[in-house]
Amino acid sequence: MKKYILVSAITALTVTGALFAAAYLFGWQTKTVKIQHVNDLPVQGAMYTTNSDGELIPLDFTKTATKVMDAVVNIKSTQSMDSRSMTRQSNPMGDLFGDDLFERFFGPQNQYESPNQPREPEMRVGTGSGVIIQPDGYIITNNHVIEDATDVEVTLHDNRSFKAKLVGVDPTTDLALLKIEESGLPSVSFVNSDQVQVGEWVMAVGNPFNLNSTVTAGIVSAKGRNINILRDQFAVESFIQTDAAINPGNSGGALVNLEGNLIGINTAIASPTGSYSGYGFAIPSNIVSKVVEDLLEFGTVQRGFIGAMIRSVDNNLASEKGLKRFQGVYVDSLVGGGAAEAAGILSGDIITAIEDSPVNNSSALLETIARHRPGDRLKVTVDRNGSMKDFSIVLNNKNGDTKRVVKETPRKIEELLGAELASVTPGTAKKLGIDGGVQIKKLMPGKLRKETNVQEGFIILRINGKEVDDPKDVDTLLSHNKGGVMIEGIYDSKPGETYYYAFGM
- The amino acid sitting at 356 is D
Q: Comparing C-alpha atoms, which of 274, 273, 217, 270 is closest to residue 239?
A: 270
157 a catalytic residue:
no
CB-based burial label for 263 (10 Å; 0-12, 13-18, 19+): buried
Q: Give the C-alpha distances (Å, rounded to integers) separating 167 from 176, 295, 420.
A: 8, 7, 15
Q: Identify whether the C-beta of residue 76 lies closer than 8 Å to the C-beta of residue 126.
A: yes
Catalytic residue among 170, 174, 349, 473: 174
Neighbours of 167 (CB within 10 A): 16
User: What is the rounded distance in angstroms from the CA atom of residue 240 to the CA atom of residue 225?
Assistant: 7
Cα(202)–Cα(342) distance, integer angstroms:
42
**DSSP code per residue over 283-301:** EEHHHHHHHHHHHHHTSS-
Residue 356 catalytic? no
Cα angle, residue 209 at apex, residues 286 and 168 outer, rounded to 5°: 40
Distance CA 39, CA 31 (A): 25
Longest CA span, the chain: 124
**240 secondary structure, DSSP code:** E
DSSP assignment of 63-94? HHHHHHHTTEEEEEEEEEHHHHHHH-SS-TTH
Q: Please, what is the Cα angle at 375 between 374 and 378, to 5 degrees?
A: 100
Rounded Cα–Cα distance for residues 188 and 268 (Å): 21
The active-site residue out of 77, 83, 129, 251 is 251
Which candidate in 144, 148, 193, 473 is catalytic? 144
What does the radius of gyration of the chain's CA atoms come to, in whole angstroms?
32
Residue 323 CA to residue 145 CA, distance in Å, equals 43
Q: Which of 505, 497, 491 is nearest to 428 (CA)?
A: 491
Sign of torsion, CA 140 146 147 149?
Answer: negative
What 8-state DSSP symbol labels residue 356?
T
Please give the distance of CA 278 from its chain centroid, rounded to a whole number.
18
Q: How many CB atoms lie within 10 A of CB 134?
A: 15
Positions marked catalytic: 144, 174, 251
